[in-house]
């Protein structure tokens, strides 16, 4: 397990549909983060898990967004009733305890049409 | 709240020249970490270098060095002997603590600098 995997890499959906993204972390990393990156901007923090517990959610995470990390392994991010403003790159990152290095996945690029 | 400011939206640099990417930050925390990431067009964020707020020496990693001036709240990235493969977006980021002892520690990013290396 050499890195953080995200699936799918690209997703095109119609406005109003639900979408779900998956992140598979580095196995020994207990912290998992979701970020959203819109065009021309840096990533913005969305939410954070330590093992299976969701410890923090950004105000950016509206009630249409939900994230889970069952059993403290992979995580899913679901967006319900997608809007055009949800079009962005969704990045997952993981981190081991005591380490400063966050390892990012390649992201899922969402386009809402 | 933490804030990162990158004032250079884009830079053109000749191959083999050194380049400095600017980053200033704002925080009320005494302990924090500063990071630089590279994002090629493929999208992944590649970790380059880290500086802790209590580190007295500037961090170095190969061709990358971080010019840390705590009093000025700046953390500029210096790339020596630039290469064509250095062309990418570069992001400065900070975390609210040095190590994840507990609590949230999501990174705050700047808007990035688009670096283009010309042959």
What's the pLDDT band for B98 if we cut at 50, 70, 90?
low
What's the average model confidence in pLDDT over A85-97?
Answer: 92
CA distances from B114 to A21, B41, B47, B108, B118 (A): 28, 11, 16, 18, 13
Q: How many CB atoms are closer than 10 A to CB A69?
A: 22
What's the average model confidence in pLDDT over A73-99?
Answer: 91
Nearest CA in chain A to B49: A101
Q: Which residue has the tokens 């996945």?
A: A105
For residue B53, pLDDT beyond 80: yes
The reply to whether A70 touches chain B by the CB within 8 Å rule is: no
State what percent of residues in chain B have pLDDT above 70: 92
DSSP code at position B75: E
Residue A51 CA to residue A54 CA, distance in Å, equals 8
Q: How many CB atoms are closer than 10 A to CB A71?
A: 7
Residue to mutate among B36, B44, B90, with most A CBs inside 10 A, is B44
């Amino acid at each position: 397990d050499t890195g953080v995997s995200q699936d799918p890499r690209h997703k095109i959906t119609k406005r109003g549909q639900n979408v779900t993204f998956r992140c598979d972390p580095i196995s020994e990393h207990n912290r998992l983060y979701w970020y959203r990156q819109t065009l021309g901007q840096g990533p913005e923090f969305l939410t954070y898990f330590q093992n299976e517990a969701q410890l923090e959610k950004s105000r950016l995470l509206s009630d249409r967004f939900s994230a889970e990390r069952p059993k403290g392994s992979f995580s899913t991010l679901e967006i319900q009733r997608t809007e055009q403003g949800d079009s962005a790159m969704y990045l997952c990152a993981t981190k081991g305890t005591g380490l400063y290095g966050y390892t990012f996945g390649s992201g899922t690029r969402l386009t809402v049409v | 709240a933490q804030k990162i400011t990158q004032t250079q939206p884009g830079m053109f640099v000749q191959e083999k020249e050194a380049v400095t990417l600017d980053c200033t930050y704002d925080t009320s925390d005494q302990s924090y970490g500063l990071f630089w990431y590279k994002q090629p067009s493929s999208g992944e964020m590649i970790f380059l270098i880290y500086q802790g707020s209590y580190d007295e020496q500037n961090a170095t990693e190969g061709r990358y060095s971080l010019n840390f001036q705590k009093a000025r709240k700046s953390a500029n990235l210096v790339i020596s002997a630039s290469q064509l493969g250095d062309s990418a977006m570069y992001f400065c980021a900070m975390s609210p603590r040095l190590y994840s002892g507990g609590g949230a520690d999501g990174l705050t990013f700047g808007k990035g600098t688009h670096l283009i290396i010309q042959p």
